[in-house]
Amino acid sequence: MWLWLMLVLLVGCAKAPTVTAGDARSAVAAGALLLDVRTPAEFSEGHLEGALNVPVQELEAKWAALGVQADREVVVYCRSGARSARAKGMLEARGVKRVIDLGAMSNWK
């Protein structure tokens, strides 16, 4: 019983706060970088207006060349949310202070 209760509490505490489309839109309107971390093929099939495409598997290698300041807010998205979550962790590890993970591109609606 105790083990079950501890597991439920740990899982509940580990959940990231929910980000709404409104939060993401407001951040972009205020100057946040909108970053699409899908493949170039996925990006060419459709993307959010104003988004920069840097595939998550290339993010580490290309981030410094982009010249984005650590204090600039970044909104990341992908197809399902897995790659954007990975990108968020990578950017935070590089010192980016505020990264909003929109998750799936469809969450923008």
Residue 11 resides in a domain: no
Evaluate whether residue 50 is within a structural domain. Answer: yes
| β-strand partners of 35 | 52, 76
Calculate the average pLDDT of the chain.
Answer: 87
In a domain, 26, yes or no: yes
Per-residue pLDDT of 32-43, as tens digits, reads 999 999 999 999
Tokens coding 45: 């099939």
Which CATH number belongs to the domain containing residue 30 in this structure? 3.40.250.10
With respect to residue 22, please indicate whether it lies within any of the assigned structural domains. yes
Q: Domains in the chain: how many in total?
A: 1
Contact 103, 84 (CB under 8 A): yes
Q: Is there a contact between 52 and 38 (Cβ–Cβ < 8 Å)?
A: no
Type of residue numbered 47:
H
Q: What is the pLDDT of residue 1?
A: 53
- Note whether residue 83 is domain-resident: yes
So what's the pLDDT on residue 96?
Answer: 95
Active site residues per annotation = 78
User: Residue 98: inside a domain, yes or no?
Assistant: yes
Mean pLDDT (whole number) for 44-70: 96
Q: Is residue 46 part of a domain?
A: yes
Could you tell me the two tokens for 109?
A: 């609606």
How sure is the predictor about 94, in pLDDT bands with cuts at 50, 70 and 90?
A: very high
Structural domain that includes position 44:
17-108
Q: Rounded to the nearest 10 degrees, how much is the dihedral formed by the CA atoms of 77, 81, 84, 85?
A: 140
